[in-house]
């Protein structure tokens, strides 16, 4: 049996007629950049996330960079974030000339630890404390970070909160949606996210008219009116084809997320019944709405062997992420070494993401767990 990590074809088959029609509509209009389809998606995402406004951008990476720019982060500034995320989270900070200061994760959720955040901040020399302009909590794998203590700390120190919600559209924390809690919520429409476009795309959610306006100016090279530039922005625009596709898919998102949650529950059951929970750690659901962009198990010692074994059995799996950001070569000058963030380093050595996409069959889920059981016995 083959069980790919992700197969987008069955999802496309469900919505093909609708998606093909809106693509044809955009092509017929020959209106490709921003325009009514992007404006419509912005309204729909704002409503879905429970925020005032949303600004479509060219990718999740660009959502982060444009939010940092709007928050006024620049050279010599400091931004606190997790070392256990996709590279873009740390890379964007650096691209603006600012310095990422990493904070270790909570080993049960893999999200930034609020206690470690406060400790790290307090340990900074006073000139660096003053340089802290933003914090980027990441809602990793589809579950929100523990936001209340982060928001409280950020308010007390006038630090902007930029949620990296690229993996977490529709997930919730104490009744609030991902992307609605901080100053900026950054989403990606990369095809492997729960709400994926047919290419690159992203969006930033905000609760302030001034922030929305700043983002709309920055995504057009900082020009307003056209050809007059108060700021240096960039080309961070979302195109109409991607917006139209994402608009169609948004109507189905909650159904797909529910199916991912059901698959996760089924895995939990199968793992419990197999007695494997002595050997592997299952994902901890600590917030009410985890949308399972990934279902990630923890495998002490034998993770890489298990991954090889599953590959041989036709099962796709992946490591998110094998090397924490503080150990990346491009950040060597930041002075971090192995051992700086033990929880992140241990996660990088032990985590393994299993197939969780909505259209998996029960037979496939059973097969994955059976293969893991065979590996251990
Ligand atoms: C996917 C992702 C991004 C980047 O999104 P792109 O659309 O690929 O640029 C940023 N942060 C996290 C946590 C992601 O998973």
Summarised one tens digit per residue, pLDDT across range 349-367 is: 999 999 999 999 999 999 9
C-alpha 69/C-alpha 134 separation (Å) is 11
C-alpha 144/C-alpha 177 separation (Å) is 9
C-alpha 338/C-alpha 348 separation (Å) is 12
Q: Which of 2-16, 200-214, 218-232 has the lowest mean pLDDT?
A: 218-232
- Continuous H helices in the chain: 9-29, 36-49, 60-70, 87-95, 114-123, 126-131, 147-156, 209-218, 240-274, 303-312, 342-350, 362-376
Task: List beta partners, residue 33.
Answer: 239
Residue keyed to tokens 């969780």: 356
Nearest-atom number in ligand 1 for the CA of 189 is 7
Tell me if 188 sits within 8 A of 58, measured CB to CB. no
Question: Do the strands 176-177 and 172-173 form a parallel or antiparallel pair, or are they unpaired?
Answer: antiparallel
Mutate to test the pocket of ligand 1, among 188, 197, 294 (most ligand atoms within 8 A of CB): 188
Average confidence (pLDDT) over 363-377 = 97
At 49 the pLDDT is: 98
At 5 the pLDDT is: 98
User: Using CA positions, which residue lies closest to atom 1 of ligand 1?
Assistant: 166
Tell me if 279 sits within 8 A of 330, measured CB to CB. no
Number of neighbouring beta carbons within 10 Å of residue 342:
12
Nearest-atom number in ligand 1 for the CA of 167 is 15
At 94 the pLDDT is: 97
Q: Single out the residue of 198, 184, 176 nearest to residue 63, CA to CA.
A: 184
Q: Which two tokens stand for residue 169?
A: 């559209």
Task: Classify 319 as helix, strand or coil.
Answer: coil
C-alpha 134/C-alpha 366 separation (Å) is 44
Nearest-atom number in ligand 1 for the CA of 59 is 7
DSSP secondary structure string for all residues of 233-266: --B-BPBHHHHHHHHHHHHHHHHHHHHHHHHHHH
Average confidence (pLDDT) over 103-121 = 98
Average confidence (pLDDT) over 99-127 = 98
pLDDT digits 0-9 by tens, 312-330: 999 999 999 999 999 999 9
Residue keyed to tokens 């997320």: 257
At 195 the pLDDT is: 98
pLDDT digits 0-9 by tens, 122-146: 999 999 999 999 999 999 999 999 9
In eight-state DSSP terms, residue 171 is -
Q: Is the CB of 85 under 6 A from ligand 1?
A: yes
- Would you say residue 288 has pLDDT above 90? no
Task: List beta partners, residue 205.
Answer: 54, 185
C-alpha 327/C-alpha 292 separation (Å) is 27
Ligand 1 midpoint to CA 305 (Å): 28
User: Using CA positions, which residue lies closest to atom 5 of ligand 1?
Assistant: 60
At 202 the pLDDT is: 98
C-alpha 85/C-alpha 64 separation (Å) is 13
C-alpha 37/C-alpha 209 separation (Å) is 20
Mutate to test the pocket of ligand 1, among 139, 167, 199, 200 (most ligand atoms within 8 A of CB): 167
Residue keyed to tokens 């909160």: 161
User: Using CA positions, which residue lies closest to atom 7 of ligand 1?
Assistant: 60
CA dihedral 174, 139, 169, 26 (to 10 degrees): 150
Average pLDDT, the chain: 97
Residue keyed to tokens 């209009």: 29
C-alpha 303/C-alpha 322 separation (Å) is 11
User: Using CA positions, which residue lies closest to atom 3 of ligand 1?
Assistant: 60
C-alpha 50/C-alpha 177 separation (Å) is 7
Q: Is the CB of 164 under 6 A from ligand 1?
A: yes
pLDDT digits 0-9 by tens, 244-283: 999 999 999 999 999 999 999 999 999 999 999 999 999 9
C-alpha 268/C-alpha 281 separation (Å) is 10
């Amino acid at each position: 049996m083959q069980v790919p990590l992700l197969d987008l074809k069955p999802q496309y088959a469900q919505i093909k007629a609708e998606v093909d029609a809106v693509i044809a509509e955009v092509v017929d209009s020959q209106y490709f950049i921003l325009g009514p389809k992007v404006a419509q998606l912005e309204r729909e995402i704002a409503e879905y996330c429970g925020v005032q406004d949303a600004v479509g951008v060219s990718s999740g990476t660009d959502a982060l960079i444009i939010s940092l720019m709007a928050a006024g982060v620049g050279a010599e500034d400091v931004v606190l974030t997790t070392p256990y995320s996709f590279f873009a989270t740390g890379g964007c900070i650096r691209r603006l000339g600012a310095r990422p200061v990493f904070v270790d994760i909570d080993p049960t959720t893999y999200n930034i630890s609020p206690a470690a955040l406060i400790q790290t901040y307090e340990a900074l020399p006073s000139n660096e404390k003053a340089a802290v302009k933003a914090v980027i909590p990441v809602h990793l794998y589809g579950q929100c970070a523990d936001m209340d203590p982060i928001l409280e700390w950020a308010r007390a120190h006038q630090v902007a909160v930029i949620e990296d919600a690229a993996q977490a559209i529709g997930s919730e924390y104490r009744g609030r949606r991902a992307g609605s809690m901080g100053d900026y919520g950054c989403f990606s429409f990369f095809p492997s996210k729960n709400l994926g476009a047919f290419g690159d795309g992203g969006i930033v959610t905000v609760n302030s008219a001034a922030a929305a306006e700043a983002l709309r100016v920055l995504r057009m090279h900082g020009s307003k009116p056209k050809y007059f530039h108060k700021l240096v922005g960039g080309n961070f625009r979302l195109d109409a084809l991607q917006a139209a596709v994402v608009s169609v898919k948004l109507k189905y998102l909650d159904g797909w997320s529910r199916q991912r949650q059901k698959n996760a529950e089924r895995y939990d059951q199968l793992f419990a019944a197999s007695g494997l929970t002595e050997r592997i750690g299952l994902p901890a659901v600590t917030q009410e709405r985890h949308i399972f962009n990934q279902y990630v198990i923890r495998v002490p010692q034998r993770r890489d062997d298990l991954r090889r074994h599953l590959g041989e059995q036709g099962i796709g799996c992946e490591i998110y992420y094998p090397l924490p950001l503080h150990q990346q070569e491009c950040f060597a000058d930041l002075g971090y070494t192995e051992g700086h963030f033990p929880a992140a380093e241990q996660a990088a050595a032990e985590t393994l993401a299993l197939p969780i996409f909505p259209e998996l069959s029960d037979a496939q889920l059973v097969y994955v767990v059976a293969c893991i059981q065979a590996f251990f016995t």
